[in-house]
Amino acid sequence: MSTLHAQNLHWQVAAAHIVQDISLHVAQGELVGLLGPNGSGKSTLLRMIYRTLRPHSGCVLLDEHNVWRGSARDNARVMAVLAQESSSEFDLSVRDMVLMGRTPHQSPFARDSDEDFRIVAQALERMQAHTLSERMFSTLSGGEKQRVLMARALAQQAPFLVLDEPTNHLDVRHQFELMNLIRGLGLTTLAALHELPLAAHYCDRLYLLKNGRLAAQGTPAEVLTADTIAQVYGVRALVHTNPRTGKPLIEYLPDELL
């Protein structure tokens, strides 16, 4: 089981309320998208959920356990994270970078086992990054780095995934491949996304932030309406229904910015 309940999360800096009283849940096996314009609070909210930024109020429950009460190590066994901040400061080979995903499963000072190496190789293969194993992480392109960081999250073998802009830096084909892979994993997943068409096609439900508050929540068809896109993003769009999937198809009208 893996179900997330974030309740009344709030974070502020000085007088600025960056995340205001947000509650959300992700049911077992659901892929839930977190949307919102730049600076709307997506990363701040995710960092409270993945135990990097302590909420000023509210709580985060994963299967009824408060993630802020247990140890970071216990948490890493149940929650894998692809964070937005680049880890380019790590001067590690790609293999060692992905091996870091195994740390929560190893006893202190234990050496990497054959099983760890097998899991790492499999994760790299899944992300089509196995040919990069010997390279230094810092020398990779943006998209290659992103795929390696995703491989590290997969190697962690946690039932709950938190992904902050997983398709960042990826070309359109790799975006679809990654989203297909995430869907296929069947894990409980919360992902911040910028591409509304990807969110419309892949997510079960969406939460849309504006200025640190929830502007809309529901299925893609409920959230991604032309009115809501106009109000939250200031962009005019036509929203059609994909005749094959029944999901929203978004056509932007960039000459009619609001």
Ligand X SMILES: Nc1ncnc2c1ncn2[C@@H]1O[C@H](COP(=O)(O)OP(=O)(O)OP(=O)(O)O)[C@@H](O)[C@H]1O
Spatial distance between the Cα atoms of 35 and 10, rounded to a whole number of angstroms: 17
Query: Where are the strands (E) in 77-116, listed by range?
Result: 79-82
Q: Does 48 bind ligand X (CB under 6 A)?
A: no
Please select the residue that binds ligand X; options are 26, 30, 43, 152, rule is CB under 6 A.
43
**Residue 37 DSSP label:** -
Q: Does 168 bind ligand X (CB under 6 A)?
A: no
Look at the alpha carbons of 38, 42, 45, 47 in this order and tell me if their dihedral is positive or negative.
negative
Q: Which is nearer to ligand X, 41 or 220 (CB)?
A: 41
Q: Which is nearer to ligand X, 135 or 213 (CB)?
A: 213
Q: Does 196 bind ligand X (CB under 6 A)?
A: no
Spatial distance between the Cα atoms of 200 and 207, rounded to a whole number of angstroms: 12
Interface with ligand X by CB under 6 A: which range of 42-50, 60-68, 74-82, 96-104? 42-50
Minimum Å gap between C-beta 139 and ligand X is 25
Q: Does 44 bind ligand X (CB under 6 A)?
A: yes
Minimum Å gap between C-beta 14 and ligand X is 8
Q: Does 234 bind ligand X (CB under 6 A)?
A: no
Minimum Å gap between C-beta 234 and ligand X is 14
Interface with ligand X by CB under 6 A: which range of 35-43, 139-147, 173-181, 228-236? 35-43
Instruction: Report which of 102, 95, 106, 87 is spatially closest to residue 131, judged by C-alpha positions.
Output: 95
Minimum Å gap between C-beta 135 and ligand X is 27
Residue 33 host element (H or E): strand 31-35
Minimum Å gap between C-beta 20 and ligand X is 11
Spatial distance between the Cα atoms of 117 and 123, rounded to a whole number of angstroms: 10
Minimum Å gap between C-beta 199 and ligand X is 13
Q: Does 75 bind ligand X (CB under 6 A)?
A: no
β-partners of residue 24 are 6
Q: Does 1 bind ligand X (CB under 6 A)?
A: no
Spatial distance between the Cα atoms of 202 and 196, rounded to a whole number of angstroms: 10
Instruction: Report which of 66, 83, 84 is spatially closest to residue 75, judged by C-alpha positions.
Output: 66
Q: Which is nearer to ligand X, 40 or 175 (CB)?
A: 40
Neighbouring C-beta atoms of residue 203, cutoff 10 Å: 27
Q: Which is nearer to ligand X, 23 or 71 (CB)?
A: 23
Spatial distance between the Cα atoms of 248 and 227, rounded to a whole number of angstroms: 13
Minimum Å gap between C-beta 107 and ligand X is 35
Tell me the helix, strand and coil percentages in the chain, rounded to 5.
35, 30, 35
Q: Which residues bind ligand X (CB under 6 A)?
A: 13, 18, 36, 38-44
